[in-house]
Amino acid sequence: MTNTTQTFWDINGVSLNTYAYNISTLGGGRTNVPALRGDNITVPYRRGEVFISKIADSRDITLGMWVSGNDEAGLPPADGNIEAQWQANLDKLRNLMWTEVNELTLRKRFWRGGSIVSATAQVQFTRGLEPAMDTVGLSKVTATFHLADPFFYGAEEEIGFSDETIVVAVNGDVSTQYITLDIGAGVEMVNQAPSPDISISSSVAASLDVRSRRVNGISSPALVTTSGSDQWFSLYPGNNTIVCNNGDATMTYRPAYF
pLDDT digits (tens, 9 = 90+) for 173-187: 999 999 999 999 999
CB under 8 Å to 24, separation ≥6 — which residues?
64, 65, 66, 140
- pLDDT tens, position by position, 5-19: 999 999 999 999 999
User: What value, to the nearest 5°, has the Cα angle with vertex 23 and ends 21 and 25?
Assistant: 145
pLDDT at 161: 97
Question: Over 80: is that where the pLDDT of 25 sits?
Answer: no
**Complete domains list, the chain, with CATH:** 10-150 (2.40.30.200), 157-257 (2.60.120.860)
Query: How far, in Å, are 2, 70, 220, 254 from residue 7 at the CA level?
Result: 13, 21, 41, 20
Check residues 164 and 195 and name the one with the higher pLDDT. 164
pLDDT band at 31 (very low <50, low <70, confident <90, very high): confident
Evaluate whether 67 touches 20 at the Cβ level (below 8 Å): yes
pTM, entire model = 0.92
Q: How are beta strands 10-11 and 14-15 bridged, if at all?
A: antiparallel
Q: Give start and end residues of each alpha helix (H) in 63-148.
A: 82-97
- pLDDT tens, position by position, 74-93: 999 999 999 999 999 999 99
pLDDT band at 26 (very low <50, low <70, confident <90, very high): low
Check residues 134 and 157 and name the one with the higher pLDDT. 157
- How far is Cα 220 from Cα 214, in angstroms, rounded to an integer? 6
Q: What is the mean pLDDT of the chain?
A: 94
Mean pLDDT computed over 230-243 = 94
Mean pLDDT computed over 109-129 = 97
pLDDT at 32: 85
Q: Nearest-CA neighbor of 238 among 191, 182, 178?
A: 191
Q: What percent of the chain has pLDDT over 90?
A: 88
Question: Over 90: is that where the pLDDT of 4 sits?
Answer: yes
pLDDT at 27: 63
Question: Over 80: is that where the pLDDT of 220 sits?
Answer: no
